[in-house]
Chains A and B, each alone.
Chain A
């Protein structure tokens, strides 16, 4: 599903002393089936933007188009439930989307709410739990008697079980152990490829933006600051540093290497082994 923001403003607590414009004149277009990473400093408006995508909030002015659905100020979207079914959001803090008595009921909540048959629900619960690496012995537990990373996995499984067309992920790997981070990002990427899911990832990991996204949006104080492919965005380190961001660690390391050896070493999509070869060559060069 295509997503288009047209001059979107969003204001919290309008007409109060705390009035805060969290999004300002935001316009962009994300084609269906694309994978977009959204980055920005603390408080730049990322989570606020995401909440527009399934109609949790509506723009204060401007409009948001998600496939057939249009969100405008003061107008209830026509098929709000359909929109929530098609757009699955994994929230920044998993506790915010857990509420049932057991893990199993929690994962089943979405599909049940959208009228999926019981037999199919049971199948989806098992599938989703497996997809996020959740031990089946935890299904009968209360979701609040889990570790942080286990809660995160339940929250993700609950979103997958609805089989959305658009995946919206707000820091989905925070709280996961290193293996979990890798496995779950790979799993999202596989779903994105196999089912052409439009995917929107808010992340503080520039590495994940570089590895998985084909498009990137940088926010600063509620405004669009940069947009383009990750490699293009990461070419302008100064611009990123001006808004308290930085390039992925491998770019930082390459820059330091270039400075140290007085020889330009550019990023060419290398993995650590390729980089090690380049470094071995550099170190092995005759000193002049």
Chain B
């Protein structure tokens, strides 16, 4: 059983409009982290909205934890899916940070006594514990994203979807929050999907799905993906700094045995070359 399964999903927003997703099929296992990338307008957020029943496929089927998603069971499915939208303002419901995180818990029938614990610990995880009584709309851009992520961590869903949920954070903050989410995901064996334009973030995922103009361009592992620098650039994407450097080294006549995915791997490879001289 997969945490998430898309079977030949096609979608258009209006009947007279063209399809924005065509024949999309993929699976995410429990305990797996899938990154979704693609040019602006390629269909990533549409996929996210289909996963928690904000939209329904025009054709095809979506299965969450073995249950085919339909209009009858959407509330049940939403309990299992924790989603952070591209703009956090679109999802705040509470008038304080505390109430906002509490809302998701109330919806899932979490007992009162347990609620406060979960609220504090999830806000601590994103370092927003000092803002309990603040109004969400009066927070800074990055603080809003942190609170939205706390809201998802608090409900311990079985699937987490982050749609550019760390785009407004500084690099260290982004890394820290992703590490936290990754930790929870591994410990609780959740299915995790992160939609992102951050190439370094993509390198940390188990697998990556590339969207291009409403279709899946490829599904692969990060290490394989970055070998295709030129093709990726043609569809509006790119490769991270380490990959660019590895390719520049190739032009200098230095070929590495394996495509490095971070600074350490690249330096290790160079050091080995150096030591074998």
For residue B229, give the distance in angstroms from its CB to the closest CB of chain A: 11
For residue A95, give the distance in angstroms from its CB to the closest CB of chain B: 6
Chain A: interface residue total (CB-CB under 8 A): 55
For residue A47, give the distance in angstroms from its CB to the closest CB of chain B: 6
Binary CB contact string for chain A from 136 to 172 against chain B (1 if under 8 A, 0 otherwise): 0000000001111110110000000000000000110
Report B-chain residues with C-beta under 8 Å of the C-beta of A206. 171
For residue A21, give the distance in angstroms from its CB to the closest CB of chain B: 14
Can you list 15 A-B pairs, Cβ within 8 angstroms, ordered by A? Answer: A18-B134, A18-B138, A47-B140, A92-B141, A171-B141, A175-B40, A177-B197, A177-B236, A179-B238, A204-B168, A249-B241, A252-B263, A261-B274, A273-B248, A287-B275
Report B-chain residues with C-beta under 8 Å of the C-beta of A277. 252
Question: A256-B263, A283-B273 known; A42 and B167 CB under 8 Å?
Answer: no
Partner of B267 from the list A12, A47, A257, A287 (CB cut-off 8 Å) is A257
A92 to B39, CA, bound (A): 20
Having A174-B168, A204-B168, A272-B241, one finds 14 other A-B pairs with CB under 8 Å, namely A42-B142, A42-B173, A92-B168, A93-B89, A95-B89, A95-B90, A175-B40, A177-B38, A256-B267, A272-B244, A279-B254, A280-B249, A283-B270, A286-B277
Report B-chain residues with C-beta under 8 Å of the C-beta of A149. 39-41
State which residues 8-42 of A face B: CB under 8 Å.
Answer: 12-13, 18, 39, 41-42
B237–A171 touching, CB < 8 Å: no
A23 to B39, CA, bound (A): 37
- Name B's A-contacting residues (CB within 8 A): 13, 38-41, 44-45, 86-87, 89-90, 133-134, 138-143, 146, 164, 167-174, 197, 199, 233, 236-238, 241-242, 244-245, 248-249, 251-254, 263-264, 267, 270-271, 273-275, 277
A179–B270 touching, CB < 8 Å: no
A149 to B90, CA, bound (A): 16
**Secondary structure class of chain A's binding surface, majority of residues:** helix
Question: A12-B138, A179-B237, A272-B244 known; A41 and B173 CB under 8 Å?
Answer: yes
Partner of A204 from the list B13, B89, B164, B169 (CB cut-off 8 Å) is B169
Report A-chain residues with C-beta under 8 Å of the C-beta of B275. 287
A42–B40 touching, CB < 8 Å: no
A223 close to chain B: CB less than 8 A: no
A180–B236 touching, CB < 8 Å: yes
A73 to B241, CA, bound (A): 46
For residue B18, give the distance in angstroms from its CB to the closest CB of chain A: 10
A279 to B233, CA, bound (A): 25
Residue of A nearest to B239 (CB): A178
Residue of A nearest to B170 (CB): A204
- Name A's B-contacting residues (CB within 8 A): 12-13, 18, 39, 41-43, 47, 92-93, 95, 145-150, 152-153, 170-171, 174-181, 204, 206, 244-246, 249-250, 252-253, 256-257, 260-261, 272-273, 275-277, 279-280, 282-287
Residue of A nearest to B88 (CB): A93
Report A-chain residues with C-beta under 8 Å of the C-beta of B86. 148, 175
* Shortest Cβ-Cβ A-B pairs, 5 listed: A149-B40, A42-B142, A276-B248, A178-B238, A179-B236
B40–A177 touching, CB < 8 Å: yes
Residue of B nearest to A244 (CB): B172
For residue A88, give the distance in angstroms from its CB to the closest CB of chain B: 19
Question: A18-B134, A47-B140 known; A272 and B267 CB under 8 Å?
Answer: no
For residue A174, give the distance in angstroms from its CB to the closest CB of chain B: 4
B171–A246 touching, CB < 8 Å: yes
For residue A155, give the distance in angstroms from its CB to the closest CB of chain B: 12
A286 to B277, CA, bound (A): 6
Residue of B nearest to A245 (CB): B170
A148 to B87, CA, bound (A): 8
